[in-house]
Amino acid sequence: MIRLIYTIFILISILSCAPSLSPYTQRLHEKYEWKESDLKKVQFYLSHDIVLRRRSESGKAEIEGGEIKIIDGSKYEMIRFNAGTPGVLLFMPKENRMAISFENGGDDKFLMFGPNPNYNDRYVLLAADWKRNFGEVTYMGKKWETSASSAYAGLAINLKNIDHNSSQARVAKGRTVE
Helical segments of the chain, H only: 2-17, 26-32, 36-39, 159-166
The model's confidence at residue 14, banded by pLDDT at 50, 70 and 90, is very low
pLDDT of residue 55: 81
Question: What would the pLDDT profile of 80-95 be if each residue is shown by its tens digit?
Answer: 999 999 999 999 999 8
The C-alpha atoms of residue 100 and residue 137 are separated, in whole angstroms, by: 13
Distance CA 103, CA 44 (A): 12
* Each residue's pLDDT tens digit, 140-173: 999 999 999 999 999 999 987 665 444 455 666 6
Listed residue (13, 23, 57) closest to 156, CA to CA: 23
